[in-house]
Amino acid sequence: MSNYQLQFITHFTDRYSYIDSARIALEGGCRWIQLRMKEASEELFEETALAVQSMCREHGATFIIDDNVHLAKRISADGVHLGKRDAACRSHRDGELAKVSNCYFICSNKLHQCLARHG
């Protein structure tokens, strides 16, 4: 479990892009990256996801997409995070959990609940 002690959720500022923030976290030793781009277009989200996913693979890190099941499946992300109150999460509970590559849907903010479901 040592690789999962810290999850980094991407963000951007005037100085750092989503990709920059993920790169900095990975270079700092983080091995669990969640790409969260709530206001991005689908095209920008996918373009950024592919870049961050590539960096995660280079660093042996787990790559999670936030709130976009279809994108996570399309690019074979390691998983997708859905807030436990999100409608998409409620529709995938109790036996309806589908795999996205090697990680189940994460319908919680608690890491131990994800790891219990992790393939």
Lowest model confidence (mean pLDDT) among 15-19, 35-39, 45-49, 110-114: 110-114
* Amino acid letter for position 70: H
Domain of residue 106, CATH code? 3.20.20.70
**pLDDT for 47:** 98
How many structural domains comprise the chain?
Answer: 1
Cβ atoms of 57 and 30 within 8 Å: the answer is no
> Who contacts 59 (Cβ-Cβ below 8 Å, separation ≥6)?
26, 31
pLDDT reading at 38 higher than 70: yes
Instruction: Give CA–CA dist 95/44, Å, rounded.
Output: 32
Copy the structure tokens of residue 7: 């999850």
**pLDDT for 59:** 97
Domain hosting residue 100, numbered range: 2-117
Encode pLDDT of 83-103 as tens digits: 766 555 555 544 344 554 455
Indicate the DSSP class of residue 3.
G
Please report, rounded to a whole number, the percentage of residues in the chain having pLDDT higher than 70: 65
